[in-house]
Structure 1
Amino acid sequence: MAMHAATTQKNTVYMNALFIGRNRLFISIFSALRFSITSFLPPDLNKKTQNRLTNLIIEWLPFNILPFFPAK
């Protein structure tokens, strides 16, 4: 059981590293866009906007990652 957990954790770390490596440009652009949009907003709107932008990227993420992991 411990071996399975360790293997799963290694696989998760590998997948995360692979995703970040292949999507570095996208992550950088999104971070810059989020910063530029939220830096000039009042604090109460700023938090709502950041949450909406984060939710948008989480919803779009599967479509971004799928082309890099073709079916076997």
Structure 2
Amino acid sequence: MTTDPFIRPYRPSDRTALGEIRVRTAHEGGDASHLHPDPELMPTTFASPYVELEPDFAPVPGQARDHAPTSRSRTPEK
């Protein structure tokens, strides 16, 4: 089994990890959990639309443990 990071397609099982990342980076790149009493606000606004509507444009870095450590979302060019 490799330990090198790689890019893989988004999977529904990544949703929780991506949401946590959005909360932890929503305040100028840092943790925003103290600013928003609803922990779903940032993920619902800034992650879920991308992964639900265009999952092919939401690749995630994978690791040998198959965990989504970071996230990047993009939109299709029209």
The TM-score normalised by the length of structure 2 is: 0.29
Which one has the bigger strand percentage? 2
TM-score, length basis structure 1: 0.30
Rg: which structure is higher? 1
